[in-house]
Every structure is written in structure tokens, then in C-alpha cells.
Amino acid sequence: MNDPSQQRSLVTVGEVLAVLAAPDVGPLTLGSGLRLGLAGAESNVAAAVSRLGGSATWIGRVSDDALGDLILRELRAEGVTTVAVRDAAPTSLLLRERRTATHSRTRYYRTHTAGSRLSIEDIPEDLVAGAAVLHITGITPALGEGPSLAVTRAVDIAVDAGVPVSLDINYRSLLWSEADARRTLLPLLRRSDLVFAGPHEARLAVPGAEEPEALAKAICELGPTGAVIKLGVEGAYALLDGQELRQPAVPVTVHDTVGAGDAFAAGYLAELLAGEPPERRLRTAVLLGAFAVSTTGDWEGLPRRHELDLLDHHDDIVR
Amino acid sequence: MNDPSQQRSLVTVGEVLAVLAAPDVGPLTLGSGLRLGLAGAESNVAAAVSRLGGSATWIGRVSDDALGDLILRELRAEGVTTVAVRDAAPTSLLLRERRTATHSRTRYYRTHTAGSRLSIEDIPEDLVAGAAVLHITGITPALGEGPSLAVTRAVDIAVDAGVPVSLDINYRSLLWSEADARRTLLPLLRRSDLVFAGPHEARLAVPGAEEPEALAKAICELGPTGAVIKLGVEGAYALLDGQELRQPAVPVTVHDTVGAGDAFAAGYLAELLAGEPPERRLRTAVLLGAFAVSTTGDWEGLPRRHELDLLDHHDDIVR
Amino acid sequence: MNDPSQQRSLVTVGEVLAVLAAPDVGPLTLGSGLRLGLAGAESNVAAAVSRLGGSATWIGRVSDDALGDLILRELRAEGVTTVAVRDAAPTSLLLRERRTATHSRTRYYRTHTAGSRLSIEDIPEDLVAGAAVLHITGITPALGEGPSLAVTRAVDIAVDAGVPVSLDINYRSLLWSEADARRTLLPLLRRSDLVFAGPHEARLAVPGAEEPEALAKAICELGPTGAVIKLGVEGAYALLDGQELRQPAVPVTVHDTVGAGDAFAAGYLAELLAGEPPERRLRTAVLLGAFAVSTTGDWEGLPRRHELDLLDHHDDIVR
Amino acid sequence: MNDPSQQRSLVTVGEVLAVLAAPDVGPLTLGSGLRLGLAGAESNVAAAVSRLGGSATWIGRVSDDALGDLILRELRAEGVTTVAVRDAAPTSLLLRERRTATHSRTRYYRTHTAGSRLSIEDIPEDLVAGAAVLHITGITPALGEGPSLAVTRAVDIAVDAGVPVSLDINYRSLLWSEADARRTLLPLLRRSDLVFAGPHEARLAVPGAEEPEALAKAICELGPTGAVIKLGVEGAYALLDGQELRQPAVPVTVHDTVGAGDAFAAGYLAELLAGEPPERRLRTAVLLGAFAVSTTGDWEGLPRRHELDLLDHHDDIVR
Amino acid sequence: MNDPSQQRSLVTVGEVLAVLAAPDVGPLTLGSGLRLGLAGAESNVAAAVSRLGGSATWIGRVSDDALGDLILRELRAEGVTTVAVRDAAPTSLLLRERRTATHSRTRYYRTHTAGSRLSIEDIPEDLVAGAAVLHITGITPALGEGPSLAVTRAVDIAVDAGVPVSLDINYRSLLWSEADARRTLLPLLRRSDLVFAGPHEARLAVPGAEEPEALAKAICELGPTGAVIKLGVEGAYALLDGQELRQPAVPVTVHDTVGAGDAFAAGYLAELLAGEPPERRLRTAVLLGAFAVSTTGDWEGLPRRHELDLLDHHDDIVR
Amino acid sequence: MNDPSQQRSLVTVGEVLAVLAAPDVGPLTLGSGLRLGLAGAESNVAAAVSRLGGSATWIGRVSDDALGDLILRELRAEGVTTVAVRDAAPTSLLLRERRTATHSRTRYYRTHTAGSRLSIEDIPEDLVAGAAVLHITGITPALGEGPSLAVTRAVDIAVDAGVPVSLDINYRSLLWSEADARRTLLPLLRRSDLVFAGPHEARLAVPGAEEPEALAKAICELGPTGAVIKLGVEGAYALLDGQELRQPAVPVTVHDTVGAGDAFAAGYLAELLAGEPPERRLRTAVLLGAFAVSTTGDWEGLPRRHELDLLDHHDDIVR
């Protein structure tokens, strides 16, 4: 395998949160054990790309304490290059309750934290300009003016340098309204080359359309040359340079749905970096989604490249 | 929200057991970790009603040691008023083995214990006479002569004071024979206003009938003005003041079926206390059943009122 | 035993935090399991007093989510009356790392939280004026202007109503400087009747003195009629209405030192409420300190009254 | 019940491994908790037969350390007679990763270990010659020349003494190639009386056939008088003394598929030892398979005889 | 090593309880995880003797359910021969709370249980008459008239057959008064050959004496030819056939004191069975006591013979 | 802080094992939970140096499976540069039993494993020649001829390039005899600049001497200019360029002694890399030893530079 450190890198900008997740089903109100880990839409993608053999770089702000060390330690463990400003503010938290067997609830501690203090100065021009692809999500701009400007700055650099921009809309209703999201994300979307969205997220950008085909078409009319619509158990639909592609989902037993969207985007982008054709990109995207839902956590169960086979055929494992 | 302490209360009489439940699947014979908690058909109902904003009072006997303290501490935590005689006898135990993924086995330590020494003197007349509803189950009379007389005494007071009586048949084959149960429960049923039963339990009271409609009708012919037949995945059927009602179940992933019957009764009774119409009572009853089976434990996963929505629609939660 | 709900109550004002405590020794940087619980200097005292049979009331602000429910649920479980304004802001967090076998580290999430939004309107005049004793600590005034004014308001009411005021200095260097603490706490101390302090905390109030005797004397010259100096493994020294008292510590194996100071104050105050003489108050104070250090957690291991004997003699427990 | 120690015994020859199994889903690469237990195709069968009331004896080599003691301790606990040569070499290990919710991965430490040093001298002639049945699997011959000769020696003794031989093909691709397996196992199969195989394993022995009926027929043409084809969720097909038998599977929720094959063989053999007719043997075989997949572990969840009922009817267990 | 099954056996009569032990320090009142295991003074001795290579047999009554199976399974695992009448009554329970770091509390469920229904018919004459030694404790006679008569019957058989009788006084204040214990145990003691006691227990039998030397002398004047006084951290004193022996304790870090007395007796008796001289018996006795207190549980951490060295020298283990 | 990636690096050569450690006290024979981690004398030093801000590189062979990935992932997480040949052989294992509270036992699976196949070709000349220091231990040469030659090759390169060589004798009796160790290690020691040893290890190299002073002197007479004698609770003695240094230990509560020696060497070497004077090197060495024994695991609890203060003063932490 090539040395990822010599490849041009997927670069992404965002926030990593410390995750406090209840392993057992039941209300937090009764007290609980929790597991401390980390997650973030952009770092999830970076880690997943790295596991598939791609080079990945994450830019962000990180608290100057044990939780900040935890974040950098784990990204390093995953082979992700980190460009992190340390900040005296604390790390954002995500408290995840498994209220019932199928319904989780989330409480964020995400204001006045290190990640939300990301600023325009934190974006290293050379690094973005030298990227293989810049991947951004709709979450970082929702964190405040600083992060929003920082993402815009990264897109400015990428567009100027001819670096393709990938945008996962990733709408989070706990962070902002649909109207605010549309106002902020549309300018970014117009300048992106590739857009990932679920049907609901896509409609937020292109309100008129309904079906995947229409949504992707409407998105591409705004500027991007590619739009990939994530359809969950229906798989995915993509419109890439005018070409339509459909990919059914990989049937798996659902264990934990968290992180499926990030895994999907990462699967696509890792193959893009590897120079693979669109069919393969989409196939790996749904495969990574399958890994995400059949393992625990946001990114922890995602595959290394040689593990892709594990879900790529469907033999029983009775012995 | 109104202050529950100012409302007239659901009053219930029964026994709370300490539960020793194996969290993992496998035979106890190999040793095991166990979780110490508490449960009881009547206290389950009281806690569930309290979570839904109703006032609830539990009457019973409790050991004068750490397990007795545990019981009172947790009922207090749930906002249930406790009227408890402390007793030198130990707390009853329920040892629960998850023998296979779907089959649990129970061993009781329930003789010569505090709860089974409940007596007629333990029932405070004023409290029962001032209740909004008296809720009893077929379990307490099965514990011995003292508890049986105590329940009868409570019904006497309620009937005299015009307090409606609710009876959940709750037949337990480990405690007594069907013949003994019928002999003891029929007089109580005749004086009840509302009866909850599964089809098998209903047939125990009204042996001739088969279908929910016939069972409810036969029960109401014995005295009660309402009969609610719990039908599991089929939902519920009710005959209330001659009016028929049908409520389909809420489809959920089954996680742990323990406590579904108590949750159902509590959902119904909480809405009765809140002055809601029968349709709403039955809807909340099946919703609480759905919470019970999609969370762990006897009552621990039941919802507060604002949480009812969680299972009241069926969106996917993929993100 | 008397019914605590009929007694005049110890009233206290403060914040309860959700505690996320690592059960195992090691850096959080490597990830960890955590236990979710709750703690707060004032609520620790209220719970401990309640366990010893006293009536205790806690006034504060609590988030309107699962963690807020957790706080109210547990205080209710401990028999503490809660007077709580619900607030949309989140619950403060305390992340506790056991960095080595003997050194813990704490990170607070305590700004812009429900507890820090406590305000003067949250203090019910009747309740404070009717208290047996008002207990405050130096922590609440450190949380911001609102909490500081709220505490001052409570002291105003108490002093006007002739309710004795107890102050535990409880200096926290993570919350404010010594200079700020002195400026804010001295006026409260002057109007208090009883003061608890460690030697270092006492010196903060009365900078010239060194030894327990001199510190207590200097404190009493400022207004209070009682000063209790906590001396850790040396026990305690008290100057009460001019009378000197010394109490050696109860020798125990130290398991977890967290919560010893609150336990000490609670032991003293519970006996004060019970009308016990000073010697007994001080004896119970050191006994509760002994329970705190020989059990896990902030308050969880503190004794009910009948359990005091457990550490009151020192037999071996070999069998 | 008869005293198993007075019955003629099922005798089996093999290796027991220490199992290090991850209880949670996720890659071992992130570190993990593991549970230490034991397993081995032949000892699984012996333990299962013993639980059903049969007499069972296991012959093998065991390390002279704590893991060897663990193996002998647990087999003794299960009532299995052990004839074990202690060996300075370590116990073989089986590291089991639950890579996804449905896909496990196994790494063996199985070379230069005690079990693989089994030799022809370790087989006590009297014991095998006095057996009720000799049960062997295709695993032991795959461990090396010593174990292969030892198994052959056991078959020699059995055939000479008129003891029926049972062979479970149990092909393991991690241990040897299909060609090697065929070459070694065919001579053993020809001299066996009864053969257990899945369709794929059967084809390894009789390459031409496809369907269960043809596979069983082809096997019996090689020598055995009985062939039982395990069909997973389809149940089983058997050709016994020219008689065809079909047994549907017992429908259960699949919890953990490990050990289903060994359980199946054990169910059949236990009833053979008990003198039960073929229909009953096959019924118990699929019942044991059902227990294996609806409990955790290789053999831990298998039933005692009085527990067979638990899965033998299909009532719901809602209460 | 000789085959223990060919040796004459230590025979003991008693009850085995299921133990539910809290692994963590804190009040059970807050709920808890518990570990399910087993213990009993007599079976602890039998298991410990078996680990040291001696033959050991346990006689008792055992419930006919999963807990009874657990007891027989574990004793079998330890190589103890069990002569057990199965009984429909449940297994006795022992609930163990670690109330503080150094103080445990126990609640028994020990009435109307299988073990307490032991009767005179349960004692097989041949087995006792053929024993190497009969070991009894003061616990079994405290369980009721049946067990008391059964123990007396065993002593009758032993004395008639010339089998030496060993008695560990093992006074349990939760089971009976000192007066009752003295009345019942004195006749047994007079007919015993060897008595184990702590100083307090010895005084119960021979009230006048104070010091170990006087206690042992007084005991031997009642009949026994040997008296061993257990002195905890002071080691042990023995008077054996008029010969005095003193053995200092093995200094260890105390981890869990439960089971030290049983371990001590077992160490002595195992060496007696092995024909070792008194000095060696006493040395192994204190060594086993050291193992008991430096490991978890009642008997689980006791050594096999080759492990005795582990605590028999005191090198540091820094590496 | 400087960028470690730009510094000259401590380079070390060795094996990393997967560690399977029992978290609880007791015999593995009863089954157990285990924690999967990693350790190795040389990688422990590299990780510890990296935490203190130094640059560290580890050279070795690593299995081509999940355990090999685990090793590389964690070293990367710790900021250690890895130069690893992947090998089809499995990772060595270390099974660690906490037999009593103070005595651990270890079983290795260390033959025919990836680490033991280290060969002379695996040592990159440029990397060693460019090191700030080459650190080796007496463990790698004990693993076989390949590793022994590889270490010698590394020393050859270092000596030729003028890179100082540090040797920690680290004698392991489970791996080889004292005579073999002496024969192999003496030539390496003669060419080293700095030697770490406990008194017993030092005597292995220089058999005549007894006291730390004499041992260090005798070692330096063989070639090295520095000898550091580790004295456990007595601290350390060093002879450096003829200069004597003594450093008392930091008094701490001992939690787990594993890894203290490696931590000590790492503390010394990190300060050497940072250009600190000998007194500071020795002070940091004993501080790291103190961290090792007051936290869990081989290296997991070691400090980052800013954490050194935590044990560098001894205030109580009562609050």
C-alpha cells in the first residue's frame, strides 16, 4: 500500500465533541454508567477515510485539558493528521441516552466551548490549497459566527486553488432553524462540487422537489457537478456529471444507527481519493453505512480496507 | 402542572419485592452478576401513574433493614406516597434468570416475609375513603390470609365511601392454583368497577367465554361497569359502560416484556385520574405497554408525560 | 421516630451538579467508563441531615431535562424537600478523573447553567423565615451575581426572623480568587451564628491567626457565636459560646476523601436540630467525616442514624 | 435418575481451548474487555451429553498451569470424566472478536500447545473399548500428526471392540485445506457408524452430491449406517439404516450461533445413549441447536434434561 | 500425586448458601450490582482440603432448582464428593453489603430452606464410619432441630467407628444466643478430638479462661486431645497431646477477611490427612488464612498445593 | 513546546505484546474477565518519553491482524513513531493473573510469534545512526537469535555513528537463565554508555559487588560512563562520569507495581533528551516510577510533562 503521508489529503474543518454515551437502555434519570469517547461529523469522516487507506487531515480547536488530549490522541491513533489550536475553553459534550431500545436522546453542552471558538485564523492556507478534496458539513457553520466564517474561508481557499469541495448538509435541528440553515448553507452549496444529503436535508436546500432524482437534479442546477442522495434502507441515488447511479443498501441487522451518514460520505470520498470510478464509490459508501449500523458507536466499528469483504457477501455464520 | 400532592390519589395495596435480575443471558447455575432493584405489581402502577403526573399512594409492609429502606427510597424517588408498616421479617425476593434470549425464569423467596404479613390493621381508613380510585391486583390476596383480608378491608372501605375500585386479575400460577384464585378473586371482582385482564386471566373469572368481546361482556355482567382485555401485540379491547373500544398496539422492537401488564393498567388509570375520555385512556395504556417492552426492567423505563411522544410516532432515527 | 415532615427544617440554598466520575484509576485521556450521579455542597448536607432523621429543605434552580429530573428524583429519594425553579439552561457538570490512586482532578461545566442562574426571586420568604437553621456555603456566592444576591437575600430573611445562620466557608479555587472570596464572604460570615472551616479556609477570613484556637477566636470576634475548625485526621476543634471543645477523629481506612467536609457539617447540624449538646454534635460530625472517607462518592455512603454505631467502635471483622 | 457414573459412557478425544471472547460488538483493535472461558468441539459434546443425564468421558492433553486447571475444573463441574495428560506446553487459545453485530472473527493460538501434542499413548485402550459410543470430530486430526494418530488409534480400538463410532466432520478452514481434510477424514468416515455434517462438509466427503438426501445416501454408501445432515434453519435430514427422517428446526430468536453444531450432535447422541428412537434423537438434536443459538457461548447455555421443555413449546412470555 | 478418590476422605456435614455479594463499597439501599456465588463453613473446608490434594466429602441438603445445581456444580468443580438430598425448599441466601471499606453487613434468608431441613436420615453411616476425619462446625446445629440431630448422628457414628472428630466452634450471633450455643455445642465438643476456636468462641465453651494457653488447656480438660486457638494477626496457638505450639501469622495486605477461619481449619486438616507433623499443620493453617484475607470471597482464592509458596516467602514484586 | 517530530529521537528496538490482564484479584482457574491492552519494555519507554515531550521511535515486528493493528494504533496514539515490519505470525501474549492482592502471575505466549522473528534486516541504518540515543533492554536479546542479532546490529550502528547507547538490563527469568543472560548481555553492556539495573540485575553483570555504590562502580569499569541503580522504595543511586548522585523515592500509595522500571528509565532518558542536568534526570526518573506504581497498568498512567507536579508535592486532597 502507498504511504498515506505522501498522498494529497482529504482536509476537513469542524468540531470534535466528547461523547458520554449510556451503554444500556433506560432513562438517565435513574443514574447510569456512561462511556467516554469522541465524535464529530467531520472527524468521523476523516477517521473513516484513513482506515480505508486514504490520507486525512482535520482542522479545529481543542480544549487544553484531558478531554482535548483525548481527542488528539484518538485522531492520531486513527492516522488522522490534526491541525489543532488549543483553547482554554472546555470541550463540547454530547450526552447520549438510550431512552428505549430504538430511541436515543441527545443533550449538547456546546456553547462557550473550544470547538465553537474556531476562527478564520485557524485555517492554514497552504494546507487547504494543497488538499485533494475539502470536505465540510452543515454542522460547523451552525456553531456560531467564528466557525461559519472559518468554513467560508476554507471554501474560498479551496475554490481559488481548484481544490474540489464536498459538502454534507447534515442538518441538525438542535443547533439552528431550517431557515437559518438554508440562508447559511446555500452559498456554500453553490460553490461545492459534490453534495451529500438525505431527502429531507436536500429539500431544505431545494424546497420544491420530492423524489431523489428531482432533488439531485435541482442541487446540480445550483452549481455542484455531483449530488448523492442517501436513502437509508433504500440505498442511495447519485447524479454525477449528469450520469445517474443507483446503489441498493447492504442488508444487515441494525445494531446502532449512529454515524451512518458520516460513514456513507467517507466511503464515497475514500474511493474518490483512491481514484476509483463512481460505481465503486457508491458501493463502498453503502458498505460503510452498513458497517456503521451493525456496530456500536459513531465511527469505532468502521472497517479497514481489508475488512470490507466482511459485509460484502452474506453467508451465514452458523458453525 | 398541578401539584400532585393536592390531588386525590390513586391508592393501592400490595407487596414490593427486591428483584435480583441477571442482566445477561445464560443459566444461573454457572454463577452470574445480578442487579438489585425492586418491583411489585401495585407499586409498578403507582410509580407509573406518578410519572404521568398523577398522585399515587402505596400501602404495604416493608422490612426494617437495608432492603426495606431501598423500597421506600425508590418509591419516594418516584413521587409515590408510602404508607408502610416496618416489619422485622425480611423483604421478599424475586430471582430472575434469563435462561435463553427469550425465556426468563423466576424463583420467589416470598414466604414468612414482611410483605406477606400485611394485615387488616395496616389499611388506614381515611386514606382509602379519600382516594380517587382504589387499585388492587390478584397477587396480594394470593400471599396469605392476612394480605387477603387486608385487600378485602380496603375494598370494603372504598365501596362504602363510593371510591371506584379497579382490579387487575394478574394471575400468578407460582402463588396459587386457578381454583383458589377464582374462589378468592370473584367476590372482589363483583364489587369492582373496572377490571383489567388478559384473555387467559379473564377466562379464569368467566370460564365460558373465549373472545375478548364475550369475556368483557361476561365480566361486566358480574358487576363491574368496565372491563379492559389486554391483547398483547393485538392491542386492547374495552367494554366501558356498555360502549365498545378497540385500540391497536404501538409497534415497537421488543426488548424486555416484563412489566407490560402493570404499565398498561397504569396508563389507563393515570388518564382516568386526569379526567381524560376512554379513547385517550386506552391509547395511553397501550403506549405505556410499548414503553415497558422496549425498555429494561419492570417499571424503570416508563415515561414521564412529556416523553409519551417518543413512541407516539414512528419516524426512523437514522442520522 | 418523629415525622421529619412535622419538624422545623434545616434550609439550604445552592446548586446541585451532575457528577461524571471515573470509577477506575487512570487518565481520562485514554477514554473511560464514568458513573453518572449528583452532588453539591448544600444538597450533600441536606441529604445527610435527612438520613440522620432531621428535616431538610433544598432551594435551587434545576434544568428542565433528564439531568434535572435526576437531581430532584434523588433528593426526593433521600427525603429532602426541594424548592426548585426549572430552567431551560442545562445542569452543571463535574467531571472527576482519578488520575492516580490518591489524586483526583476535576473539570467543571458550570457557566451558563441552570444552577448559576439562581436569583433573588427564587428564595421563598416564608420557608426561610420558618427554618430551624439556614445553612449556606461559600460556593453558591461564587457562582455569579444572581446566586450571590440570592444567598444574601436568604441571610437577610433569616436574620430578620431570628433563624440561626450556619456558614461553611468551602473555598473553591477553581471558582474564584481568595481576594474575591474574602470580599464576598466576610459580610456573610459576620452575620452568621456558626462557621465551619478548615485551617486554610479560616485564614482566608481571619488572615492573622495560625492555630485552630486562634482561628476560632478570631472568627467569633467577627460576630459568630460558634466556630468549628475541621482538622482532618486530627479531628476537630470548636469554640462555642466561649466554650472550647476538642474531638479526635475516628480512625478509618481512607477509601475516598470526597465529601468529608460536607458530611462533617451535616453531622454537627443534624445533632443541633435534634437538640443534642455540643459534645455530641462534634462527635457525630467526626463520625460522619469517617463514613465519608471510608465509602465511595460525595454523600452516597453516609449513615442513617441506626448505622452510626458501625464506625463508633473498632472491633475487627475477621470471621 | 440413574447414576451416570454406572452407565457406559460416550467417550470422545480432542482438545479444549481457552476462549477469550469479546462480549461487546466492535473491533479488537480499539482494545476490549474479554471473558475467559473454554470450548472444544468434543468437550462441548461431552458436557452437553452429561447435562442431559448421559455419562461422558473426555480424553486429551492439558497444560500444567492455571488454564489447564480451568479446563479440568469446568469439565468436572459439568460431570464429565476427564482422562487428561498434563503437559508443560501452554493451552491453546481462541480469541473471538465480534467485529459486527452478526460477524465474529477468530484468531487461534494453537501450535506448540498442549492439546496439539496429544499422542497415541494418551488413549487408554480399556476405556475406549468399554465405551457406549466413541465420538470424534474432524478437528482433532487437523491438529497434527500426533492427534491424528491418536484419533485413528481410538477408532481402531472401538472398531475392534464393537463400539459404534460417531464422526462429526466439523471442517475448519483455518486449520487445513479441503484436500488435506478429505484425505485424512475419509478413512475415518469409512469406519464410522454415524456421521454428522452440514451440506458443505458432506460435499467435502462425497463431492458429487448436492441435496441432503443425495449427500446422506452417498455417505452411507461409504460405510456408515447413519448420516445426519444439519440444515440450520431448515432443521435436519437423516438417513438411518435406510430409513429417512426429517425434522424441522425449532424457531427461536438467534442470539449467538456459536456451538450450534456441537449441541446438535450432543442432543442426538444423548438420546442414543438413553435408548431413545431415531425420531426423538433428531428432535432433541434440533432442540439443543435451538438452545445453542438462543443463549451465549459455545456450550454454557445448553439445557439439563428438565429444561428441554423451555423451548419445546412456543408460548409468549409477556406478563 | 496420589489419586484423592482412593484416599480416605475428610467428611463434613452442613449447609451451603447462595451468596449475593456486593462487589463495591456502599449501602445496598441505593441499589447495587451483586455477584452470585456460594459458601458454607463446612463446604469451604472441603473445597480447600481438596485443593491441597486431600479427599473431601460434603453431606447436606440442596434445593431442586438452579441454585441447588449451582452448589453441586461448584463443589464438583472443586473435586469435592457431594452426598446431597435434593429438596423442594429453596436454597438459603446470604446477602452481603460492603457498607464501608472495612465493615460488611450480612442478611440471611435461612429459614424454611433446603439446608435447614437436613435430617438424621441424610447421614450415610458407611460413609461417615469410613472417613479419615469427621469435621463439623457450630453452625449446622444452630440451623434447627433436624440439622442438630443430624450432626449428633454423624458424631455418634464417627465415635463408634473410631473416626476422629474435628469441631470448629464457629459461633454465629445471628443464628442463636451464646447460651443456646453453649448448651448444644458442649456435648459435641466433649466428644471431639480436635477443636478450633477464636478466643471469644473458646470462652463461650470454657468461660473462666482468658489467654490462649488457658483456653486450650480448659478445652482439652473437657475431652479433646487437641485445641487450636486462632489469633488473627497474632497467628495461632495449639495444645496437641499436651504439646504446645505457636505459629506467627504470615504478614499480608488484607484484601477481604471473609473465610479466614474456614481456611485456617482446612489448612490444618489437609496436612493432618497428608500425615504431616503438627508444626507443618499449623504452618499451612496460617498460610491458608493468609490466602483467604489477601484474595476475594469465602474460598475462591485459596491455594492449590503448588501455590502455597506464593505467600511462603516475602520478596517484593516490583519489576 | 518544540515540535517533537523535528527533534532527534530516542530510538528503541523490541517487542510489544498484547496484554490480557485480570482486573480483579483471584485465580484465573475460576474464569475471569480480562482487559486487552499492550505492553513491552521498550515501547513503554518510548511512550513515556513521548508523553514528556520527547521524540521517540520504536522498531519491531508486528502481526498482520487485529492485535498488530492494536499495537500500532496505540503507539501512534502516544505519538511514538513506529518502524514495523508486519508478519503473518501472531502477536505475543502476556496473560496476567492477580493471584492475590499483592502477587501477580504471568504466562507468556511468546514463541513463534511476530515479535520473536525480528531480524537484522528490520533495523534501518539511517534511523539508528540519526538517533539522539539508542535504548535497548535485556529482554529483546532473550527472544531468540534473530532479535539478539538485531539488537547487536543496532548497537553496531549506534557506536559507529557516535550515538549514545542506553541499556536497561531488565532480566526476565521466564525467558532465559542467568548464565545465558550474562553471556549475551555483557558484550552489549561493555559498549553501552548508560546502564539501568536493579541490584539483583547489576550483580548478574558484575557478580562480586553488593552495595549500589560498588555495583555502579563495577559496571562503569566495564565501559559505560554512567550506571543508575534502581532501589525501589529507597529511590536510586547513580554514578555518572564519576559523579555520585542519590535520589530518594517519592512516597506514594502503591496501587500496581507493574511498569515501574520502564517508567524510571523513561523519566531519566526524557530529561537527557531535553538537555536537563543529572539531578533533574534522576528526580524525574523516580517521579515516573511513582506514577507507575500509583496508577493501573504498564504505562497507561504515566504523566504528560504538565502533570509531573501532581506527585511532586504532597498536599492532602481532603475536601
- Gap from F102 CA to chain E (nearest CA, Å): 7
Residue B292 has pLDDT above 50, yes or no: yes
Q: How far apart are CA C109 and CA C92, in angstroms?
A: 5
Given the C-alpha cell 365480566, which residue does it identify? B219
Residues of D within 8 A of E77 (CB-CB) are: 73-74, 76-77
Chain D, nearest residue to E77 by Cα: D77
Task: Output the pLDDT for position C315.
Answer: 39
- Whether the CB of D246 is below 8 Å from some CB of chain E: the reply is no
- CA dist A28 and E238 (Å) reads 58
- B contacts of C73 (beta carbons < 8 Å): 77-78
Q: pLDDT-derived band of residue C317, with 50, 70 and 90 as boundaries?
A: very low
Contacts (Cβ under 8 Å, ≥6 apart) of F150? F13, F118, F119, F120, F122, F123, F140
Which pTM does this prediction carry? 0.94
Q: Looking at this predicted complex, what is its ipTM?
A: 0.92
**For F16-37, how does the pLDDT look when each residue is reduced to its tens digit (9 = 90+)?**
999 999 999 999 999 989 999 9
To 5 degrees, how large is the angle CA F98–CA F99–CA F101?
A: 70
Instruction: Check pLDDT > 60 for residue F2.
Output: no
Residues C29/C52, Cβ–Cβ less than 8 Å: no
- Selected for mutation to probe chain A from D19, D24, D102, D293 (highest A CB count within 10 Å) is D102
Could you say which of A35, A70, A97 has the minimum Cβ distance to residue C66? A97
Q: How large is the average pLDDT for residues E56-82?
A: 98
* Closest chain B CA to residue D307: B99
How far apart, in Å, are the Cα atoms of D279 and each of A311, D169, D224?
38, 22, 19
Position A5 scores a pLDDT of 62
User: Looking at CA atoms only, how far is residue F160 from chain E in angstroms?
Assistant: 32
* Sign of the CA dihedral running A33, A36, A40, A45: negative
Cβ contact, residue pair F258, E296, below 8 Å: no
Catalytic positions of B: 262
Chain F closest-CA separation from residue E292 CA (Å): 9
pLDDT (tens digit per residue) in F211-237: 999 999 999 999 999 999 999 999 999
D25 close contact with A: CB closer than 8 A: yes
E strand or H helix at F34, and its extent? Answer: strand F32-39
Give me the percent of chain B exceeding a pLDDT of 90: 91
- Residue B4 is predicted with a pLDDT of 59
pLDDT surpasses 80 at A112: yes
Pairing of strands B56-63, B133-137: unpaired
Q: Are strands A93-98 and A17-25 parallel, antiparallel or unpaired?
A: parallel
SS3 assignment, position F109: strand
Distance from CA of D8 to the nearest CA of B (A): 26
User: Out of D69, D76, D304, whose CB is closest to E76?
Assistant: D76
Paired sense of beta strands C133-137 and C165-168, if any: parallel
In this structure, what DSSP letter does residue B140 have? G
pLDDT-derived band at B228, boundaries 50, 70, 90: very high
Q: Is A89 helix (H, G, I), strand (E, B) or coil?
A: coil
Residue D215 to residue D209: CA distance in whole angstroms: 5
| Range from A197-201, A256-260, F142-146, F214-218 carrying the lowest mean pLDDT | A256-260
Average pLDDT of every residue of chain B:
94
Q: Which residues of chain D have pLDDT under 50?
A: 1-2, 314-319
Mean pLDDT across chain A: 94
Strands annotated E in F99-137: 104-109, 133-137
Chain position carrying cell 531468540:
F144
* Cell 426494617 -> residue: B64
pLDDT score for A319:
31
Residue in B104, B105, B232 closest to D316 by CB: B232
* E146 in contact with chain C, both atoms CB, cutoff 8 A: no
Q: Is the pLDDT of residue E49 over 50?
A: yes
Residue E312 binned pLDDT confidence (cut-offs 50, 70, 90) = confident
The answer to whether B310 touches A40, Cβ cutoff 8 Å, is: no
* Least Cα separation, residue B246 to chain A (angstroms): 26
Q: Reduce the DSSP state of residue B188 to 3 states and report it.
A: helix
Measured distance CA(F132)–CA(A251) in Å, rounded = 54
CATH of domain B4-14+41-89+119-307: 3.40.1190.20
Residues of chain E with Cβ-Cβ distance to C297 below 8 Å are 26
**F98 to chain D, minimum CA–CA distance in Å?**
12
Does the pLDDT at position E313 exceed 80? no
Catalytic, C309? Answer no
Give me the pLDDT at residue D3, please: 61
Residues of E in contact with C294 (CB under 8 A): 25, 100-103
* Burial profile A162-185: b = 16 or more Cβ within 10 angstroms, e = fewer: ebbbbbbbbbbeebbeeeebbebb
B3, B72, B73: best mutation site toward chain C, by most C Cβ within 10 Å? B73
Confidence check: pLDDT of C253 > 80 = yes
The answer to whether F258 faces chain E, any CB pair under 8 Å, is: yes
Which residues in chain D are contacts of B174 at CB distance < 8 A? Answer: none
**Within 10 Å of residue D134's Cβ, how many Cβ atoms?**
28
Three-state SS across chain E?
A: CCCHHHCCCEEEECCCEEEEEEEEECCHHHCEEEEEEEECHHHHHHHHHHHCCCCEEEEEEEECCHHHHHHHHHHHHCCCEEEEEEECCCCCEEEEEECCCCCEEEEEECCCCCHHHCCHHHCCHHHHHCCCEEEEECCHHHHCHHHHHHHHHHHHHHHHHCCCEEEECCCCCCCCCHHHHHHHHHHHHHCCCEEEECHHHHHHHCCCCCCHHHHHHHHHHCCCCEEEEECHHHCEEEEECCEEEEECCCCCCCCCCCCHHHHHHHHHHHHHHCCCCHHHHHHHHHHHHHHHHCCCCCCCCCCCHHHHHHHCCCCCCCC
Q: Are E43 and E84 in contact (CB under 8 A)?
A: no
User: Which residues in chain D have Cβ-Cβ distances shorter than 8 Å to B293?
Assistant: 318
Q: Which residue of B has its CA nearest to E70?
A: B29
Q: Does F319 touch chain C (CB under 8 A)?
A: yes
- pLDDT confidence bin for E315, thresholds 50/70/90: very low
Residues 87-106 of F with CB under 8 A from C: none
Nearest to E318 among F26, F30, F257 (CB): F257
What pLDDT is recorded for position D318? Answer: 32
The predicted-structure confidence for B261-279, as pLDDT tens digits, reads as follows 999 999 999 999 999 999 9
Q: Which residues contact residue D283 at a Cβ distance below 8 angstroms, ignoring those fewer than 6 apart?
A: D247
Write out pLDDT tens, residues E294-310. Answer: 999 999 999 999 999 99
Give dist(CA F179, CA F172) in Å, integer.
12
Looking at chain C, which residue has its C-alpha nearest residue A32?
C36
Query: What local confidence, expressed as pLDDT, does residue F315 receive?
Result: 39
Find the CB nearest B260 among D291, D296, D318: D318
Report in angstroms the alpha-carbon separations of E237 from C111, D20, D78: 65, 46, 41
Chain segment E156-214, per-residue pLDDT in tens: 999 999 999 999 999 999 999 999 999 999 999 999 999 999 999 999 999 989 999 99
Residue B77 touches partner C, C-beta closer than 8 Å: yes
Whether E307 sits inside 8 A of F99 (CB atoms) is yes
Out of B100, B258, B260, closest to residue D291 by CB = B100
Chain C's closest residue to A92, CA to CA, is C109
